[in-house]
Amino acid sequence: MKDLAKLMGFSKDTKVVDATLRDGGLVNDFFFPEDFAQALYRANLKAGVDYMEMGYKASKDLFDTSKFGPLKFCEDDYIRSIVGDNMTDLKLAVMADVGRCNYKEDIRPKNESPIDMIRVATYVNTIPAAVDMIEDAANKGYETTCNIMAVSSGQQENHRVALEALCQTPVEVLYIVDSYGALYPEQICRVVDTFMDVCTKYGKKIGIHAHNNQQLAFANTIEAVGDGVSFLDATYAGMGRGAGNCSMELLLGMLRNPKYYQYPVIEFVEKHMNALKQQGVVWGYDLQYMMTGMLNQHPRTAIAFTKEGRDDYSEFYKEVVALD
């Protein structure tokens, strides 16, 4: 039986993480309107959000800077141009993907950077590299998380082995990432049980980052909250890769915590997120994402379908079933 106290009350351990700029940046290659990031920062401050993920620390050797906006690379001076000295309670985060980040050089010591947290993203088969990145970031003075991607494609025992290795590091939060939007709430419950079984032994916290391929990102996040997960990712208007993520406006409305305030989020969606959609930026649930989610497939084929402006959904279904 779900612990209703975790849903009807509030926990001081709960932390809300805004991933709009980072996951949303995957939709428009990080080319946001000039004042967008500053307005989002102000909205997060008013809403009581705990962490704001600014984007990626991607390697300029691997990614052409002319093809992406600056938040693909999150240089410290550019972050300061958005948040100033950030003398607030809102902490700033960036994501560093295993194999896509020159972390030893591009991530400067914490006392030289406005960033507070490094979120290391890894698959189960790249855990050794993730361990080195976590230790590097912690030694430089940062808070750290490790986001284990595509948990729906891994076996439970593989997760246990990965978690045991990661829990030997200074990492503070281990994230369940439903990259394909493939999991149902009951499955989320089982994954959380596995994470809890290992992580609580080492005093590590657990987070969730859900995708909305089957319109379950919010439901899966609620499930995780009821099971004791404390770090919760969300994005304004659900903006994120493909079908998007758990919507911030839904999450703050559900959390019974007086520190969070829903109105600034609704105001930002009205003024800025709707403007993005009017400009032609596309994200959110659609049949092609439902299909890849149900088949537990990476959404790259659905993303290509969307970019090509296709609407032959039945033909696409045949294509993705053939890949399964």
In whole numbers, what is the pLDDT of the chain averaged over residues? 96
pLDDT reported for residue 4: 55
What is the per-residue pLDDT for 324?
82
Beta bridge partners of 118: 94, 144
pLDDT of res. 155: 78
d(CA 184, CA 174): 20
Per DSSP, helices labelled H in the chain are 4-8, 20-28, 36-47, 76-83, 103-106, 127-139, 156-166, 185-199, 217-226, 248-254, 263-268, 274-278, 287-294, 300-307, 313-323
Eight-class DSSP state of 80: H
Q: What's the rounded mean pLDDT across residues 64-76?
A: 98
> How many other CB atoms sit within 10 Å of the CB of residue 205?
19
Q: What is the pTM of this model?
A: 0.96
| Residue 249, CA distances (Å) to 7, 233, 270 in order | 16, 12, 11
**DSSP-derived secondary structure letter, 235:** B
Which whole number is the average pLDDT over 26-51? 97
197: exposed, middle or buried (Cβ count in 10 Å: 0-12, 13-18, 19+)? exposed
DSSP string, 251-293: HHHH---TT--SHHHHHHIIIIIHHHHHTT---S--HHHHHHH
List the one residue out of 257, 261, 263, 252 whose CA is nearest residue 8: 257
Q: How confident is the model at residue 244 (pLDDT cuts 50, 70, 90)?
A: very high
pLDDT at 12 (0 to 100): 81
